Amino acid sequence: MKRRRLPLLLASAVALLACPEQRAEPLRGPPRPPQAALSAGAGALPDVLTLRRPERPEWFGIYLAGKKAGWMQTSVARELRDGRDVVVGRTEQLLKVTVGGREAQRGQVEERIYEARPAGKLLSFRSTFTGDGGDRVVSGTCAHDRCAVRIEEPGTPTEVRSVEGVTETVEEVDAARLAAARRTTVRGRQLDTMKVRVIEREDSWKGRERMAGGGVQEEVSVVAEEEVGDRLAVEVRIADDGRIVDMRQGQAIAIRPETESEARSLEGVDLLALGAVPLPRPIPREVPAVVTYRVSGLPQTFWKNDARQRYERGPSDTTLLTVTARVPAAADAAKDTPVARAAEGASPEDVSPSLESDSDAPAVAALAREVAGEVPGAYAAARRLSDKVYHLLEKAYGASNDRASDVLVAKKGDCTEHAILTVALARALRIPARTVHGLVYARYDDGKDALYWHAWVEVRSAGEWIALDPTFDQPVADASHIALGGGDRVDTVGLLGSLAISDVEVRDLSHGGHPHPSR
C-alpha cells in the first residue's frame, strides 16, 4: 500500500523551472536569425530563447508533508551538437524514502534536445531510470509528430515502439516561466518517458499576488501547471526577474529552490505513516455493505459520482462519501460477458499492453491462458487471475518492480505489483482492466485503525466496472476501498497528509441495511 511513484512523477512535471538563488540571464548560444523573434502588436513578446534564466544548474529540494524526501537538479542551455544549433534541457532527480521498514530509492536522469528556434521541435531524448522498480533506459528520436522509442532493460531484449501525436516544442522546456512572462497559457502534447505515452500539458498564468518572507515582500506571477484533466494543479510562483519563489501541489508537496548541499541533505520519510488517515473505529470487510465517511480536505474537483461512490456536502465544510460494495451482476454466469466479446466497445487503453502492464509479454500471456482455462465469462476469468496473483506473489512491502513481466519473475511485491500483474493478465485475454489507487482500511502492529494508500483493480463485465483486490484476495473489493484516482492519473499525490475522517457509518446490506454494530 504505497504511492512511491507519484512524487517522482510530480518532480518530472515541474523539472525545468528556475531557482531564486541564481541570477537570470538570456539563453546564450549561436546567434538567432532575425525572424526568430515572436511579435505581438507593436512589441515583441519574450520567447523561450530570450527568457531570463540561471546559467548554472539549478537545485531543488522535494518535500512530502514538510519532510525532505528528494532532490532535483535542472539546466537549460543552448549548444552546438554535431554542428547543429540546439536547446538542451536536462534534469536529474532522486527520491529516497522508507517503505515497510526498508529504504527505497529511485533516480532519473533525462536529457531532451530541441531545435533552437521558437516552436522548435523535439529532436531526441534519453531518460535513465535507476533503483527500486528496475533499471531502464528510454531513448529515441522524433520527426514530425512521431517518436521512435527504444526501451532497454538489463536481461531483456530491446523493445522498439512508435509513439504518435508528439507535438512537443522547445517552449515546454520552460513552460511555466514562459507563461508568466507572456501572461498567457502555454500548451503542448509532450512525451512522457516514464510511461511512454503522450500527455497534454498546460501552464496557465493565473494572475499576480504579493508574497512576503525573510524580511522582504514582492509581487510574483502565479502559474498553474498540470496535465490536462488533473484535479489538483501544481502552483508555481515566479518573480519578475525569473526566479521561482515557490512550487507546490496541495498541502503535501513542495519543491523549493536550494543550494546543492541543502538539496542533497535528506530526511527519513516513512511513506506508510505519511499516507495514513486515522479512523474513529474499525471497518468490517463484509460484502455487500455500505460505508459513509465524513471527510475533510477532499477538494470538490475530486467528487465524481459513479455506481460505487457517491459524494455530497456534509456539515462544517466536510464531504460525505458513501461507498457501496455489492455482488456484481456478472456473478451470475448467465450475465457474465463472454471472454470472446469482453473487449467489444472498450477503450483501447483498457485492453492494450502498456509499459507497466505488458500483457503482450509471452510469460504473462501464457499464464493468463493457463489460469483462465476454458472459463467462458470475463468476470469469472478475472476472479481466477486475481486469486492466482494473490497466491503466487510473496507479500513484500516495498519490493518494487515496474513491469508485470518483472513481477512475474520476482514473484513478490505489495499492492502495486499485485495490481499491475492482475491487469496485465486480464488484458492478455482482452478483458478490459485498469488499476485504481486510493485508500483502504488496515490495522498494523500499532493497533490503530486507519486508511492507508493502496492499489487494486477494476475489470469490466455485464456493462459495469467491478472492483476486485488481488492483494487481499477479494473478488469484490470491500467498502473500505476509497478510490481517488486510476491509471496514469497522478494528481492524487497532492492529497497526501491533508485528508481527515471524523466519522464513519457502516450498513450491512445483507441484514436489511441496518447500521453495523461497529458504528
pLDDT tens digit string along 164-178?
999 999 999 999 999
320-356: pLDDT as tens digits? 999 999 999 999 999 999 999 999 999 999 999 998 8
User: Which of 196-200, 417-421, 452-456, 515-519 has the lowest average pLDDT?
Assistant: 515-519
- The angle that helices 415-428 and 362-372 make with each other, rounded to 10 degrees, is 80
Task: Report pLDDT for 253.
Answer: 86
pLDDT, mean of residues 85-97: 94
CA 318 to chain centre: 26
- 304 burial (CB, 10 Å; 0-12 / 13-18 / 19+) is exposed
Confidence band (pLDDT; 50, 70, 90) for 512?
low
Residues 102, 187 within the same domain: yes
CA distance 171 to 169: 5
| Phi then psi dihedrals of residue 190, to 5 deg | -110, 150
Residues 351, 303 within the same domain: yes
Average pLDDT, the chain: 86
CA distance 420 to 358: 9
First-to-last alpha carbon distance for the chain, in angstroms, is: 25
pTM of the model: 0.78
Residues 68, 211 within the same domain: yes
Residue 321 covered by a domain: yes
Domain housing 344? 277-515
Looking at per-residue confidence, does 486 or 467 come out higher?
A: 467
Residues 288, 157 within the same domain: no
11-61: pLDDT as tens digits? 333 222 222 233 333 454 444 333 333 223 334 678 889 898 877 888 999
Identify which of 261-265, 384-388, 503-507 has the greatest average pLDDT. 384-388
pLDDT, mean of residues 138-164: 93
pLDDT at 123 over 80: yes
Residues 256, 316 within the same domain: no
- In the chain, the percentage of residues whose pLDDT exceeds 90 is 60
pLDDT at 511 over 80: no
Residues 244, 351 within the same domain: no
Task: Report pLDDT for 493.
Answer: 77
User: Which of 111-120, 127-136, 337-346, 503-512 has the lowest average pLDDT?
Assistant: 503-512
pLDDT, mean of residues 352-372: 95
Residues 142, 22 within the same domain: yes
Domain count, the chain: 2
pLDDT, mean of residues 462-477: 97
Residues 295, 231 within the same domain: no
- Residue with cell string 456478472: 330
Residues 249, 112 within the same domain: yes
278-291: pLDDT as tens digits? 999 999 889 999 99
In one-letter notation, the amino acid at residue 313 is: R
364 neighbors 354 (Cβ within 8 angstroms): no
Q: Which of 226, 256, 272 is the last residue of a domain?
A: 272
pLDDT, mean of residues 407-412: 92
61 neighbors 46 (Cβ within 8 angstroms): no
Task: Report pLDDT for 510.
Answer: 64
pLDDT, mean of residues 125-147: 92
pLDDT at 518 over 70: no
Confidence band (pLDDT; 50, 70, 90) for 218?
confident
Task: Report pLDDT for 443.
Answer: 86
Task: Report pLDDT for 91.
Answer: 94
CA distance 296 to 206: 26
Cell of 237: 510562483
pLDDT, mean of residues 418-428: 97
Q: Which of 233, 253, 272 is the last residue of a domain?
A: 272
Residues 304, 236 within the same domain: no
Task: Report pLDDT for 396.
Answer: 78
What is the chain's Cα-based Rg? 24
pLDDT at 398 over 80: no
Residue 1 covered by a domain: no
- 333 burial (CB, 10 Å; 0-12 / 13-18 / 19+) is exposed
Q: Which of 244, 272, 300 is the last residue of a domain?
A: 272
Residues 257, 295 within the same domain: no
Identify which of 133-147, 207-221, 419-433 has the greatest average pLDDT. 419-433
321 neighbors 292 (Cβ within 8 angstroms): yes
239-271: pLDDT as tens digits? 888 888 889 888 778 898 899 999 999 987 887
Confidence band (pLDDT; 50, 70, 90) for 104?
confident
Residue 417 covered by a domain: yes
Contacts of 124 (CB under 8 A, 6+ apart): 112, 113, 139, 140, 141, 142
| Phi then psi dihedrals of residue 287, to 5 deg | -130, 125
Residues 394, 484 within the same domain: yes
User: 262, 218, 215, 224: which is closest to 243 by C-alpha?
Assistant: 218
Task: Report pLDDT for 228.
Answer: 87
